[in-house]
Amino acid sequence: MSKVCLAPSFATLLQDFFVERLMEQRAVSPETISSYRDSFRLFLLFASDRVGRCPSDLTLADMDAPMVLAFLRHLEVNRHNSTRTRNVRLAALRSFLKYAAHRDLSALAVVQRALAVPMKRCDKPMVGYLSRDEVQQLLTAPDPDTWCGQRDTVLLATMYNTGARVSEILALRVGDVILGSSPCVHILGKGRKERTVPLWRSTATLIKRWLPRIQDVASQRLFPNRSGNAMTRSNVADRMRIAVTRAKGECPQLAKRRVSPHLVRHATAMHLLQSGVDLSVIALWLGHESPSTTHGYMEADLTMKERALNSIQPPQVKNRRYRPPDRILQFLESL
């Protein structure tokens, strides 16, 4: 008599997805794990409330297309999430559904309909960035007489020099910095890709002065909090707000800007571009997976566009108004 192969429970599937699929098989970054975790935490609470069962008692059949669509609507309407955030949450759910489809064939039809829920298109805003004067005022804003102020000075200078993501900056350790004749820093970026970014002499000098303030051992975080542990994203955001508050006296326009660590990263890219650095080099500098991501900085630089416009003469063409020859074409033109 053959044994009946029971389908794994939803809870088992979800645990295996995180432990086996994401952590062991794909070895994704801690940031990806955190993002997926938050997505499923929100979804499980929503679905549990909707069906009247605790999260552990949910089934894969509960994760059907109507449930996924209702959850996405809840994110946008009730939680006021942006379209981009909505798409990030959906990407996490779809990744799990693709995994679950191979483990529970009985739910294949439900999974396929849920996977048909599309990503929502959204506007892609122009890249924002800080001017050179704004960056200079921000770098000199921290209080040099306090331990936190000294750390923030080095932190901001390193962020601007490297153009690193905030997660990459917070992961830096003393051993990642080389302060020899050619100072540089080794950064582990997205997709576990390593890159080496050169340091300006001024940045290297600041780091050299900073090292005696912390434990000068290779495993020590380069930018710890006052307890010696790793800083968090919110710590960096808070310290940046303090720097902006101090800097806006000399640079009032900063008060009107929403200054974030990523805005500093954009500033690095734009200033490299404006200095004539090739886009492919900037892509390597920032750790972009594709140079096409870097093209957004060129789109944001109005000065470069004006130079391109001035290099050609407008054609001497007489403008003629288009007149549709047919009523149905007139209708289409009116839409």
Q: What is the DSSP string of 155-169?
A: HHHHHHHH---HHHH
Stretch (H or E) spanning 186: strand 184-188
Using CB atoms within 10 A of its CB, is residue 124 exposed (0-12), middle (13-18) or buried (19+)? exposed
- Residue linked to tokens 């995180």: 18
Residues 6+ apart with CB under 8 A from 154: 206, 207, 209, 210, 223
Q: What is residue 187's predicted lDDT score, i.e. its pLDDT? A: 94
At residue 5, what is the residue type? Answer: C
- C-alpha to C-alpha distances, 243 to 148, 152, 233, nearest whole angstrom: 11, 8, 15
CA–CA distance, 300 with 84 (Å, rounded to integer) = 20
Residue 322 has pLDDT above 70, yes or no: no
Q: Which residues have a catalytic role annotated? A: 165, 190, 262, 265, 288, 297
Rounded mean pLDDT, 220-224: 94
- C-alpha to C-alpha distances, 286 to 98, 133, 199, 268, nearest whole angstrom: 31, 22, 14, 9
Residue closest to 8 by CA, chosen among 99, 91, 85, 87: 99
Computed over every residue of the chain, the mean pLDDT equals: 87
Using CB atoms within 10 A of its CB, is residue 221 exposed (0-12), middle (13-18) or buried (19+)? middle
The alpha carbons of the chain give a radius of gyration, in whole angstroms, of: 26
Structure tokens at 200: 């300006």
pLDDT tens-digit series, residues 237-259: 999 999 999 998 888 888 888 88
Given CA atoms 178, 179, 181, 185 in this order, what sign does their dihedral have? positive
Rounded mean pLDDT, 5-11: 82
Structure tokens at 194: 């390593």
- C-alpha to C-alpha distances, 127 to 55, 231, 265, 287, nearest whole angstrom: 40, 27, 11, 17
Q: Which residue has the higher pLDDT, 329 or 14?
A: 14
Rounded mean pLDDT, 151-174: 94
Residue 122: pLDDT band with limits 50, 70, 90: confident
DSSP per residue, 200-266: -HHHHHHHHHHGGGS--STTSBSSB-TTSSB--HHHHHHHHHHHHHHHTTT-GGGGGS---HHHHHH
Domains present along the chain, CATH in parentheses: 10-115 (1.10.150), 132-310 (1.10.443.10)
pLDDT tens-digit series, residues 127-148: 678 889 999 999 999 999 999 9
